[in-house]
Each structure stands twice: as C-alpha cells, then as structure tokens.
Amino acid sequence: MKALEWLGDSLRILDQTKLPVTIVYRDASSYEEVADAIEKMQVRGAPAIGAAAAYGYALGAMKYEGIRAGLQDYMTEVKERLAKTRPTAVNLFWALCRMEDRLRELYEVEDLNEIQKALITEAENIAEDDRKVNHLIGEQGNAIVPEEANILTHCNAGALATVEFGTALGVIRSAHREGKKIHVYADETRPFLQGARLTTFELMKDKIPVTLIADNMAGFLMQQDKIDLVIVGADRIAANGDTANKIGTYSVAVLAHAHGIPFYVAAPTSTVDLKVPTGQEIPIEERNPMEMREVFGVPTAPAEVPVYNPAFDVTPAKYITGIITEKGIITPPYSVNLLKMMVRS
Ligand code: MRU
C-alpha cells in the first residue's frame, strides 16, 4: 500500500484520514489540491510530505499557461502555497528548495514543456531517493536491534509516512526480515491516532507482532520491563541533536531515560536542519482544536472547552541514544557528529 503514486498527470494520495476503516484515494491534479491534502493530513509523515510537495510543485508547472518570462514568479507563488501547509517537518522545505534549485538550473531553457518534464523527473528523483534511503536506514538500524526485542514506537514513521518502507518502522521491518523475534508496542498517539490507525495497520499487514497501547501506558510497561528499546521517527533534527517529532515523543524519551531504556531516532539526513541551532528554534505546528474535542466527529469534550493542540514536541538531545540515518548511526556529541555526517557524501 503506497502513500503516494505519480500517475503522469496527477498525484494519487492514499487518504490516511480514512484508514484503517476505508481505503480511499484522492487524485490531486493541481498544486492547490496537493497543499490541501497535506493540510488535512490525508498525506502526512515528514518524508511523504516532502515528496508530495515536490510533485505538487511539478503539477504547478504543468498547469502554467503563461509566457516563459512569468514562470519564475508564478512558481514562487506555488512554492509559497505548498510551504505554508505544515511548518514543522523540514523535509517539506528541503524538497521544495530542491525543486526550486532544479528550476533555477533551467534558467536558459525556453521550452515550457521541457521545463515541466525536468521538474516531474526531479520530483520522481526525490521519491526514488526516499525509497532507497529508507531501506538503508533499515539496514543501518538493524545493528541496534537485539535478537529478541519488545520495541515501543510512537506515531507512525512507517511506509505510510514515507514513499516506501518507513524510517522507525523500516528498522523494525529489517530486523523482522532478518529473523529477529520482534514485538512492537504501538502508542495510539492522541489526538490524531496515527499509532492506533496506521502503525498497527501497517505492521499487521506485514505480520509483525504488534500490541496497541494508549499513550499513558508506556511508563507502566517500562516499569514492568516490557520495553527493551524505543525507536521513533523525526520531523526536524536541530544542529545540536534536539529532535522534533509527534507530540508525546518527549514524554516517552524522558520515561525511557528514567528506566535506562535506549531511545533511538530514525530519520533521513533530509530531516536534519543545521540552520536551526537547537530545538527551541523549531516551529511547532498548532492544529485545529476540534481534533481534541472530538474523535472522528463524535464529541469527547464540551464543545466550547478551551484547547491547546500542539502537533509536535521537542526531545532534547541528551535523551537520545543515537540517530539512525542512511549514512550511519550518529551518537553524541551530536553538535560535532551531525555536522561531520552531513558533510560526508
Ligand atoms: O503529524 P504527522 O502524522 O505528519 O506526524 C508524523 C510524525 O511525527 C512522524 O514520526 C515523522 O514525521 C517521521 S515519519 C517517517
């Protein structure tokens, strides 16, 4: 099951808001529709958002009907619209900048058709790179997974959050394929329930043993020695290793630290943002209060209750045992080792 599929003139998006109950696709044929799908979280997860935005950018160029001279300004508008969708996952901005760089390289090309084709190819390259990178993360991460392990994960950093295979779930998939005896505890991940709806769904499809728990159960399980390892994804990793990921990740990291349990982040290098010195500078998205007041249209709180609904939190680097990337596993001191890894080809 793919989060995204390029159909030649539109982007097929698996509507993740409907999973696991119904499998519905949305075919987005304009950049506005792609932006809308990202905002509504029909497509979500940092790498998948990046790839979707890249295709959205290409769709923008495909729909352009003006003269060559006006293309640059129009594409700036396209980029700005797509960039406005979700602020935390840096992969979105990384992918849009890569598309914009490609457009800049085509500065002297007059033929709009040629430019459109080149941008589609670049979006496909971004998607293909993500496929490869996730498999590499899986291979690298396998090294830290014991022969037998109960692994806790939070949110969904799986195939549905990427173009294929997943980051945190990529590591889990690799270990399972190696024949390791893996069992996963999936936090349900309030309020959007990515763990309950998506992680359990993905793992069950792959026949990887999984047990669903409510977010507030993780500490009790750790106290009972039921968790050997925590692996989560990331939306943005600051230069000092502080990591933004789905709200609730910080609590899990503190709990893991208190119980002496290794806590790993699995993410592609496109999630590292060296321009941001620490986690304090990472913009945290706040979402619609209705996500907290109701669950899929059913009220679970008084209609008017004031709500605070941050979609992400930041785990300080000191709680992170290692960061699993496609280039290797980075360990502290992150300020030094992240930079070293990023300059390595
Ligand atoms: O709000 P979401 O569902 O887009 O948040 C997703 C996460 O926090 C993931 O853990 C992260 O994007 C990594 S996905 C490989």
Q: List, for residues 64-118, the tens digit of each pLDDT value.
A: 999 999 999 999 999 999 999 999 999 999 999 999 999 999 999 999 999 999 9
Say yes or no: 213 and 193 in one domain: yes
Residue 78 CB-density burial (10 A; 0-12 exposed, 13-18 middle, 19+ buried): buried
What's the 117 CA to ligand 1 centre distance in angstroms? 30
Residue 161, pLDDT score: 98
- Beta carbons of 187 and 155 less than 8 angstroms apart: yes
What confidence category does residue 1 fall into, taking pLDDT thresholds of 50, 70 and 90? confident
Residue 205, pLDDT score: 98
Say yes or no: 315 and 168 in one domain: yes
Q: Give the separation between CA 71 and CA 113, rounded to whole angstroms.
A: 12
Say yes or no: 199 and 233 in one domain: yes
**Torsional class of 328: left (φ above 0), alpha (ψ -120 to 50), beta (otherwise):** left
Q: Of 136, 158, 180, which residue sits at a domain end?
A: 136
The stretch 212-232 carries a mean pLDDT of: 98
Please give the single-letter amino acid code of residue 195.
Answer: G
Three-class SS state of 227 = coil
Domain hosting residue 260, numbered range = 144-344
Structural domains counted in the chain: 2
Report the candidate in 55, 45, 49 with the shortest Cα–Cα distance to residue 122. Answer: 55
Output DSSP code: residue 108.
Answer: T
Q: Which helix (H) or strand (E) holds 150?
A: strand 148-153
Q: Give the separation between CA 216 and CA 228, rounded to whole angstroms.
A: 18
Q: Give the separation between CA 277 and CA 124, rounded to whole angstroms.
A: 31
Q: Which of 156, 167, 264, 286 to mutate to test the pocket of ligand 1 (most atoms within 8 A of CB)?
A: 156
The vertex-172 CA angle with 339 and 187, nearest 5°, equals 95
What's the 112 CA to ligand 1 centre distance in angstroms? 35
Q: Give the separation between CA 91 and CA 95, rounded to whole angstroms.
A: 6
The stretch 40-66 carries a mean pLDDT of: 98
ipTM of this model?
Answer: 0.99
Q: Of 136, 156, 175, which residue sits at a domain end?
A: 136
Pairing of strands 181-187, 210-213: parallel
Say yes or no: 119 and 204 in one domain: no
Ligand 1 neighbours, Cβ below 6 Å, are 44-47, 89, 155, 157, 161-162, 167, 194, 233-235, 245-246, 311
CATH of the domain at 157: 3.40.50.10470
Q: What's the pLDDT tens digit per position in 313-323? A: 999 999 999 99
Q: Which of 94, 197, 245, 251 to mutate to test the pocket of ligand 1 (most atoms within 8 A of CB)?
A: 245
Residue 313, pLDDT score: 98
What's the 230 CA to ligand 1 centre distance in angstroms? 16
Say yes or no: 185 and 105 in one domain: no
Q: Give the separation between CA 230 and CA 221, rounded to whole angstroms.
A: 12
Which alpha helices (DSSP H) does the chain contain, by range?
31-39, 46-63, 71-83, 90-105, 112-142, 168-177, 194, 200-205, 218-223, 249-258, 290-293, 334-343
What's the 223 CA to ligand 1 centre distance in angstroms? 27
Q: Of 136, 154, 185, which residue sits at a domain end?
A: 136
What's the 152 CA to ligand 1 centre distance in angstroms? 15
List all residues 6 or more positions away from 86 whose beta carbon is below 8 Å from its beta carbon: 38, 39, 49, 92, 285
Report the candidate in 82, 108, 81 with the shortest Cα–Cα distance to residue 95. Answer: 82
Say yes or no: 299 and 197 in one domain: yes
Residue 147, pLDDT score: 98
Give the position, in ligand 1's atom list, of the atom nearest the Cα of 246: 8
Q: Give the separation between CA 44 and CA 329, rounded to whole angstroms.
A: 25
DSSP codes, 271-292: GEETTS-SGGGS---B--THHH
Say yes or no: 117 and 241 in one domain: no
Is 235 an annotated catalytic residue? yes
Q: Give the separation between CA 293 and CA 300, rounded to whole angstroms.
A: 6
Say yes or no: 132 and 115 in one domain: yes
Output DSSP code: residue 310.
Answer: B
Beta bridge partners of 299: 294
What confidence category does residue 296 fall into, taking pLDDT thresholds of 50, 70 and 90? confident
Say yes or no: 324 and 230 in one domain: yes
Residue 301, pLDDT score: 98
Give the position, in ligand 1's atom list, of the atom nearest the Cα of 155: 10
Q: Does the pLDDT value for residue 345 go beyond 80? A: no
What confidence category does residue 267 fall into, taking pLDDT thresholds of 50, 70 and 90? very high
What's the 106 CA to ligand 1 centre distance in angstroms? 33
Q: If you search the block for the tokens 């030649």, which residue do you land on?
A: 8
Say yes or no: 176 and 118 in one domain: no
CATH of the domain at 53: 1.20.120.420
Both tokens of 275, joined, read: 């321009």
Averaged pLDDT score across all residues of the chain? 97
Q: Does the pLDDT value for residue 52 go beyond 90? A: yes
Buried b (16+ CB within 10 A) or exposed e, 173-209: bbbbeeeeebbbbbbbbbbbbbbbbbbbbbbeeeebe
Say yes or no: 160 and 290 in one domain: yes
Q: Does the pLDDT value for residue 9 go beyond 80? A: yes
Q: Which of 129, 130, 235, 242 is catalytic?
A: 235
Residue 344, pLDDT score: 82
Please give the single-letter amino acid code of residue 271.
Answer: T
Say yes or no: 237 and 220 in one domain: yes
What's the 194 CA to ligand 1 centre distance in angstroms? 9
What confidence category does residue 326 fall into, taking pLDDT thresholds of 50, 70 and 90? very high
The stretch 105-132 carries a mean pLDDT of: 97
